[in-house]
Amino acid sequence: MSATPAPGTATATAVPRQAWTMLAIATVGFAINFWAWALISPLGAFYTEALALSALEKSLLVAVPVIVGSLGRIPVGALTDRFGARTMFPLLSALTILPVLFIGYVASDSYALMLLGGFVLGLGGTTFAIGVPLINAWFPPAKRGTALGIFGAGMGGTAISAFSTVQLRRSIGLEFPFTLVAVLLAVYAVVSWLLLRDAPDRPAPAGGSFLRRTWETFRLPITLQLSFLYAVGFGGFVAFSVYLPTYLRDAFGLDANDAALRTAGFVVLAVVMRPVGGILSDRFHPIPVLTACFAVVTVFAATSALEQPLETIGTVAFLAMAAALGASSGAVFALVAIAAPPGKVGAVTGIVGAAGGLGGFAPPLIMGAIYGWIGNYQPGLWLLAITAAIAACFTAWGMKKAERTG
């Protein structure tokens, strides 16, 4: 009888039961940390009125957590390659408690302190770069797209935030959502330290200093190519998840609760479609999946730019974009799983994840500036349509080498 392949080897086909346990623990942790990461956005209208913010100041406030959540993925991914997810997940979850409580109890009456707290709150967004190398080491190549898609569904923490934060503030008080999330982070930090385990034979990182390894990873063509694709796909999702409540209030006159619920629906659909993108990528390869997703975004971003009535065509357009952006995010990391060099998955994930987060940072600022300048959002949506079209063409014709990988 032949020996069972080790869980981290490239030839493994069977998935050990422990791998699914690690996937579940990591997905829950990712969701809780993303819930923390997205706490400010649903309260954007409240802070705008309480602090008398301009459109640009409001955009900056909801976008700032994306900075650390994006750039922080680069060192966090590299550190995960070195120290493992069992160390990094509990550590980052515990550190994220600090900005959550700071914003909830100290900073809410000061715009400067809110910006500071939001900046550090980005720590919650870095946990994505911890989970990907963990899952990649536990699952064989044929199942990585599916597994990473399931893990990526943890971005549904933003939907939990959108559904619950405004209602909890109104019914219990401003501090309560922050207290609840801080408690959940503390519980998860303890549980993950006790239960989470790295794959026994996870690839060791390459030698050299952190800066050297990061630079070598950055120079890989596949890193830059995937960074662009993720900046469009996941960046589009992040931008909508943080700015859609503001957009719906300004463009369609919705109240804060209605806008938050519609945003939550957008996020939920994107979350559901992320594993679908991974499953389709395992079946057909990520390249055709990505091409189709970006083509859908192109069509419906252009439709949204025409500001169709929200009750019919407008809602269909936003839901179609949610589905396509979610599926594309899963497909990109299915491609990371088969194209990134062993031992560099965390580093590649960090850089690609940072690009995705930064892709979500700029659009809210651009949208806020455009609305403050001309009083509508049409040019911003046309820019999204053009960018998605470029991404579709690049994926179809510029990623031929990656299509042969795996």
Instruction: Give pLDDT tens digits for 339-362.
Output: 777 667 667 877 887 788 777 777
Residue 141's pLDDT is what? Answer: 75
375: left (phi over 0), alpha (psi -120 to 50) or beta: left
Whether residue 266 is predicted with pLDDT greater than 80 in this model: the reply is: yes
- Give the domain 17-199+213-404 fold: Growth Hormone; Chain: A; (1.20.1250)
Whether residue 2 is predicted with pLDDT greater than 50 in this model: the reply is: no
Residue 210's pLDDT is what? Answer: 66
Residue 324's pLDDT is what? Answer: 92
Tell me the mean pLDDT in the region 33-39.
Answer: 87
Percent of the chain with pLDDT over 90: 17
Chain segment 165-223, per-residue pLDDT in tens: 877 888 787 788 899 999 999 999 999 999 999 888 776 666 566 677 777 777 788 88
pTM, two decimal places: 0.72
Residue 12's pLDDT is what? Answer: 45
Chain segment 66-122, per-residue pLDDT in tens: 777 778 888 888 888 888 889 999 999 999 999 999 988 887 788 888 888 888 888
